[in-house]
Structure formats: structure tokens, C-alpha cells
């Protein structure tokens, strides 16, 4: 199985793809991205990811992008790579232009990159059984976290600390002591039989997995509360759960050496995990 890239419409082994040093994605992080999960060669939550990509482009005032052609290329790349379980990475930059902060005027063609890679879920599957550790870390990011840009330094620095601590994720805490989300996953927690999460807004990325999970929560008749919460509330929760494209649904059992609930994945985590798997299986059967 090859790791293939499609760069501005041209397909090649990913290692051979080259971008100019004048690309604004390289110089300014002036770029947006998406990561799709592929199950048995099929794109999961396609409309949700595409909708978020469209929104990210619009929020950053990118010129109109040919999204149908993009998705055509994505589909052809999945077939060419012969991947069953994998991920699709899409990045669109504001293009190649002399280095000045303001947008190129007139606009230049965007740089469009698609990479299709196999994904082995085995290690994560084991973690879903045991639960994972997380650390807490200051949320150093900017005030438009709702846009999926490649400006990920705040996420990168926090995740590096998590890795050094042997943890799976870092829970980000803002300057007022409120939790936001994690570096590459959304955060939910359970207290008094209710699922809680930070309200959608500039503070967090609108997670596609979170949105799908919350629709599942609603369909199961479980109450959900969107609330800005201090870290202490999350530490005192019965269960804390991460959701994301490749993580899917994973229970956090320890945060900064503090044991959460029973120290094992709790009943809500299991219910949501089972429900999520059932949604994927139903999608694949359809």
C-alpha cells in the first residue's frame, strides 16, 4: 500500500511532493486543513469535514476553492492507494507569492495537497479498553480556535509535554482556568448522568466526532450540557472522554496523576464507544 499525494492535481508518492519556499503555508501558516477517516475505502463523515473545510476557507477569506474537484481527487487517490483503513489529509494554502503579510493582490492559485495514508487502529484499540492518561497544559492558542488552520504550535507544545509525561493527550486550560479541549481531540465529561462539553465558539474547534457523538447522546436520551467549566469540575467528573477522528471515543482514567472516577473506562464511555462503533458499522453496511 503506497502513501500517495496529490499536489495541485498531480498524483505521486508522498515523499516526492515538493512545495515552493514562497508558499504562504510554509512562510505564515496561511493554510487550512482537514483529516478524514477512511474505513474500508470509504470516507466517514464526509459532509461534516467538507462543511468545516468550507467554513475554515471562508473565515480566512480564501478565494473560492473547487471543492467538488477536490473531493473527486480525494476519491481517486483512495482508489489508487488501495487503502482500506486510512486517513486523508487535505491542506489548502493561500498559494505561492513574494513574502508580504497581506494577501497576494491579485490572488494567486492556492496550493492544494491531499495525502492518503494507511491507518492501523490496533494500538488505539488497546487504549480504548484500558483508558488513557492525560496531562493538563495552558491553552496558548489564538482567539480563533474554531478555524482548522495549520497554525498548531500551541497544540504541538502541549502535546510534546504530554508525550514526555507518557500521556495520550494534553487537556488545555485557558488563562481563566477553564478547560477548552485537547490538542487533537475534543473533550467531554460526565457528571450526574449528564454529558458536558465546552460550548461551540471561538474557544474550540467544532469537532466532527464530537458533533456526531453528541447526536448519538441525544438519540440515547442522555442530557447534554454545553458549559464553560473550571478544571476542578472536570477533575471531579465521574468520567472524562476524548473524541476525535482517529481516537474515536477514548476514556481518560488519569489526569496529572489524579484518578478519574473508578480509574477504569466507565459505563458512559463504553455506551458511547459501542454506539459510535455501531454508527460506523451501519454506515459501512449502507
E-strand stretches of the chain: 4-7, 10-13, 31-39, 42-44, 86-93, 111-118, 132-138, 169-173, 179-182, 186-191, 194-197, 224-226, 239-244, 248-255, 258-259
**Would you give the binding string for ligand PLP spanning residues 15-54, x where CB under 6 A is met?**
--------------------x-------------------
Least distance between ligand PLP and beta carbon 179 (Å): 12
**Would you give the binding string for ligand PLP spanning residues 152-181, x where CB under 6 A is met?**
---x-------------------------x
- The reply to whether 148 belongs to the active site is yes
Q: Is 248 in the site for ligand PLP (CB under 6 A)?
A: no
Task: Single out the catalytic residue among 54, 117, 148, 163.
Answer: 148
Within residues 196-215, the interface with ligand PLP by CB under 6 A covers 205, 207-210
Helix (H, G, I), strand (E, B) or coil at 73: helix
**Would you give the binding string for ligand PLP spanning residues 228-247, x where CB under 6 A is met?**
----------------xx--
Of 45 and 96, the one with the shorter C-beta distance to ligand PLP is: 45
Q: Binding residue for ligand PLP (CB under 6 A) from 81, 136, 151, 186?
A: 186
Q: Is 86 in the site for ligand PLP (CB under 6 A)?
A: no
CA end-to-end span of the chain: 26
Q: Is 110 in the site for ligand PLP (CB under 6 A)?
A: no
Which residues, in sequence order, are bridge partners of residue 171? Answer: 136, 182
CA angle 110, 112, 117 (to 5 degrees): 165
Q: How far is 204 from 254, CA to CA, in rounded Å?
A: 22
Element containing residue 122 per DSSP (H, E) = helix 122-130
Of 186 and 253, the one with the shorter C-beta distance to ligand PLP is: 186
How many CB atoms lie under 10 A from the CB of residue 222? 17
What's the half-sphere exposure (Cβ side, CA atoms, 13 Å) at 62?
Answer: 29
Least distance between ligand PLP and beta carbon 104 (Å): 27
Residue ranges binding ligand PLP (CB under 6 A): 35, 155, 181, 184-186, 205, 207-210, 244-245
Which residues are known to be catalytic?
Answer: 148
Amino acid at each position: 500500500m503506497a502513501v500517495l499525494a496529490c499536489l495541485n492535481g498531480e498524483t505521486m508518492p508522498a515523499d516526492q511532493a515538493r512545495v515552493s519556499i514562497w508558499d504562504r503555508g510554509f512562510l505564515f501558516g496561511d493554510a487550512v486543513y482537514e483529516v478524514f477517516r477512511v474505513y474500508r475505502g470509504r470516507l466517514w463523515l464526509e459532509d461534516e469535514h467538507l462543511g468545516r473545510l468550507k467554513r475554515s476557507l471562508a473565515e480566512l477569506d480564501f478565494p473560492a476553492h473547487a471543492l467538488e474537484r477536490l473531493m473527486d481527487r480525494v476519491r481517486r487517490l483512495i482508489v489508487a492507494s488501495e487503502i482500506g483503513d486510512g486517513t486523508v489529509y487535505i491542506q489548502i494554502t493561500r498559494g505561492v507569492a513574494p513574502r508580504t503579510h497581506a494577501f497576494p493582490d491579485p490572488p494567486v492559485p492556492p496550493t492544494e495537497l491531499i495525502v492518503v495514508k494507511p491507518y492501523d487502529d490496533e494500538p488505539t484499540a488497546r487504549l480504548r479498553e484500558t483508558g488513557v492518561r492525560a496531562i493538563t497544559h495552558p491553552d496558548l492558542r489564538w482567539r480563533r480556535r474554531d478555524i482548522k488552520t495549520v497554525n498548531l504550535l500551541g497544540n504541538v507544545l502541549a502535546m510534546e509535554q504530554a508525550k514526555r509525561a507518557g500521556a495520550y493527550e494534553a487537556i488545555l486550560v485557558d488563562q481563566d482556568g477553564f478547560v477548552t479541549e485537547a490538542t487533537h481531540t475534543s473533550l467531554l465529561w460526565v457528571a450526574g448522568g449528564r454529558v458536558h462539553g465546552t460550548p461551540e465558539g471561538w474557544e474550540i474547534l467544532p469537532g466532527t466526532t464530537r458533533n456526531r457523538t453528541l447526536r448519538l447522546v441525544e438519540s440515547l436520551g442522555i442530557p447534554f450540557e454545553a458549559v464553560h467549566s473550571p478544571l476542578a469540575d472536570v477533575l471531579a467528573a465521574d468520567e472524562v472522554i476524548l473524541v476525535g477522528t482517529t481516537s474515536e471515543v477514548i476514556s481518560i482514567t488519569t489526569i496529572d496523576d489524579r484518578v478519574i472516577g473508578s480509574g477504569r473506562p466507565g459505563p458512559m464511555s463504553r455506551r458511547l464507544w459501542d454506539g459510535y462503533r455501531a454508527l460506523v458499522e451501519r454506515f459501512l453496511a449502507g
